[in-house]
Amino acid sequence: MEWNQQTPILFSGTSHPDLSLQIASQLNVSLGKVHLEQFPDGEISCQILENVRGRSVFVVQSIAQTLDGSPNDHLMELLILVDALKRASARRIVAIIPYFGYSRQDRKDKPRVPITARLVANLLETAGVDRVLTMDLHADQLQGFFDIPLDNLYARPVLSLALQKWGIEDDVVVVAPDIGGIRLARAFANHFGGHIAIVDKKRTGAETVEVSTVIGDVKDKTVLLTDDICSTAGTLAAAANVCTQFGAKRVIAAITHGLLVGKALEKISNSSIEFILLSDSVPREPGFHHEKIRIISAAGLFAEAVRCILQDTSISSLFDLENWREKEKKQLSNH
């Protein structure tokens, strides 16, 4: 793509500047200049330092816990950034939200509780967002919470290609760690040409689960545990251990959003998981290293989606593994 004065500007919030820089690099553009700071009383101050009048603007912000702030801080910062861009006469504002915080609060599962995911959708629209670009929403029905276009990308092709490079391809059983993960497990199984199994679990507390059995055959198989979110790692560790008890020869995991809060890393270390592959939708602290965690970047996926939006072409091609193989071959030949 040839970039000129009419091309878009990419801005970054403070939640994930590294991913923002990678996306900008993939697009061969520089990040837009913005001044963000907090007043002594904790309020957020924002000033856009670029002329955005009549421009298409993309803002990258994960709504997740980081060393620099809470999901609430990053959500509020995103809303303030969008308002500033709207008042500066940006033509179109696209919010790139790699991890959509509050997505698990998508229904009334108890009396007198909010549907916070819908509230966040309303806030984004009211602030002035024209389109949302995100990845692996926790529930598909969240797309219906928006009255503006929403593109929900899937990390599956990127994760699957990385797994195949590491030799995870033959004799694989894809295991859903709970009933809600069957659809994702089936999608991975279609990529690898394997079967699926399901772990029967019961949550016994905010950070604890009770696993009773595995529905399906994992004996002497390589088990691939798949899930969209790993928060405290209780479900993941319990599922891995029960698969080992049922005879799995090795257990690995592919997760889109690695929140890894509380004692998650300790649980992972003590589990039978060989390694976990995570996307970088949620930032890690500088110098992060864990012997069982490997991280793959989703920057190329988001950059391709941005190109599709700008060129008014289909995003569905980004869901295909073969398409990603071809893109990687082209990148290697260019180098």
Nearest by Cα to 282 from 64, 105, 135, 97: 64
Crossing angle of helices 156-165/299-311, nearest 10°? Answer: 140
Would you list the DSSP string of 163-202? HHHTT--SSEEEEESSGGGHHHHHHHHHHHT-EEEEEEEE
| Integer Cα distance of 304 and 264 in angstroms | 32
The alpha carbon torsion through 324, 298, 318, 101 (nearest 10 deg) reads 160
Residue type, 241: N
Token digits for 217?
Answer: 């055959």
User: In the 8-state DSSP scheme, what is residue 140?
Assistant: G
Task: Choose the catalytic residue: 110, 165, 201, 327.
Answer: 201
Classify residue 42 by burial, with Cβ atoms within 10 Å: 0-12, 13-18, 19+: exposed
Query: 283 phi and psi, to 5 degrees?
Result: -70, 150
| Integer Cα distance of 267 and 69 in angstroms | 24
- In which residue are the tokens 């991280």 written? 295
Told to judge if 201 belongs to the known catalytic residues of this protein, a careful annotator would answer yes
Kindly state the helix (H) or strand (E) to which residue 275 belongs, with its residue range.
strand 273-279
Catalytic sites, residue numbers: 201
